[in-house]
């Protein structure tokens, strides 16, 4: 199996998925979403007991690809809905993956990249890593990840993260519950492999049952929340604030928000 935007390798107990667009700071494109979904399918078919998700180069994932962001401004509502559902599908696949998924955050994880970290079971981060849901600063909304973030860190912390739109360092991310541990860069992957080995010593059936229990409570509410998030994610793209936010971002200036 070959991929254009990532690397997939297998070790005795671990599957390692490396986002591999270092020249784009591993930004999310439709192709990367499709590659990740195919890679996760391959991981599920393998004997790997857990998955390590990391990035090549200096960033984990910088969020949405610039070309994809530009294309959004010309898309119809139905096209925006389709895009939103693809991203929602990726988040849900990571969140519900039947084996543990560990994010080894080697650098900045911003917007959608921070979203991917948030839906993994565990997150390790280097001290230099940065985190943030910056969508509100460009007239967008982190709708899709909000469904999971409230579950992961609680509503109080989720409100701060989603509304402030600011960047947090690794120490703040640890305090807020976005990451589990801070690990030096030279030990990041070694620590991730240690965690995989811990999982490998547990019953596969027990881990599967535990994940299924945690991710399915209550499933009906999750389905409804995700559909609402998809709709809101598409709707915000039609607003004047989004158009102004996108223009200001591309032109590298401060946005002029409407009242």
pLDDT of residue 220: 62
Model pTM?
A: 0.87
pLDDT of residue 257: 83
Cβ 156 vs Cβ 190: under 8 Å: no
Ranges of H-type helices in the chain: 30-45, 66-72, 77-96, 112-118, 143-153, 155-164, 170-176, 188-200, 204-215, 219-236, 240-251
For the chain, give every domain's residue range. Answer: 6-200
Measure the CA–CA gap between 83 and 77, rounded to whole angstroms. Answer: 10
Compute φ and ψ for 11, nearest 5 degrees.
-115, 175
| pLDDT tens column, 204-216 | 889 888 888 877 7
| pLDDT tens column, 66-99 | 888 778 778 888 888 888 899 999 999 999 999 9
The single-letter DSSP state of residue 27 is -
What Å distances lie between residue 196 and 6, 49, 101, CA to CA? 20, 7, 9
User: In the structure, what pLDDT confidence band is assigned to residue 243 with cuts at 50, 70 and 90?
Assistant: confident
Q: CATH second-level architecture of 6-200?
A: Alpha-Beta Complex (3.90)
The catalytic residue positions are 135
| pLDDT tens column, 149-158 | 988 899 999 9
pLDDT of residue 221: 76
Measure the CA–CA gap between 86 and 88, rounded to whole angstroms. Answer: 5
Burial class of residue 78 in the structure, from the number of CB atoms within 10 Å of its CB (0-12 exposed, 13-18 middle, 19+ buried):
exposed
Query: Which tokens is 124 given?
Result: 């390790």
**Cα distance from N-terminal residue to C-terminal residue, the chain:** 51
């Amino acid at each position: 199996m070959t991929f254009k935007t990532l690397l997939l390798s297998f070790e005795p107990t671990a599957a390692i998925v490396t986002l591999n667009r270092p020249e784009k700071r591993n930004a999310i494109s439709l192709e990367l979403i499709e590659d990740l979904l195919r890679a996760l399918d391959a991981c599920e078919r393998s004997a790997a007991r857990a998955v390590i998700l990391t990035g090549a180069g200096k960033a984990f994932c910088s969020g949405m690809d610039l070309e994809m962001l530009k294309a959004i401004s010309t898309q119809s509502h139905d096209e925006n809905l389709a895009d939103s559902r693809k991203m929602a599908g990726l988040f849900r696949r990571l969140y519900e993956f039947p084996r543990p998924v560990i994010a080894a955050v080697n650098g900045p994880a911003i917007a959608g990249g921070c979203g991917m970290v948030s839906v993994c079971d565990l997150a390790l981060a280097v001290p230099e890593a940065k985190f943030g849901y910056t969508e509100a600063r460009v007239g967008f909304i982190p709708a899709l990840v909000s469904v999971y973030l409230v579950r992961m860190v609680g509503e109080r912390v989720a409100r701060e993260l989603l509304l402030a739109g600011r960047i947090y360092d690794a120490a703040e991310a640890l305090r807020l519950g976005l990451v589990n541990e801070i690990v030096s860069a030279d030990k990041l992957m070694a620590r991730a492999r240690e965690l995989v080995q811990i999982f490998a010593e547990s019953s596969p059936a027990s881990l599967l049952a535990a994940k299924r229990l945690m991710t399915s409570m209550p499933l009906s509410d999750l389905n409804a929340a995700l559909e609402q998030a998809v709709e809101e994610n598409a709707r915000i793209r039609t607003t004047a604030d989004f158009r102004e936010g996108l223009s200001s971002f591309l032109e590298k200036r401060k946005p002029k928000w409407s009242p």
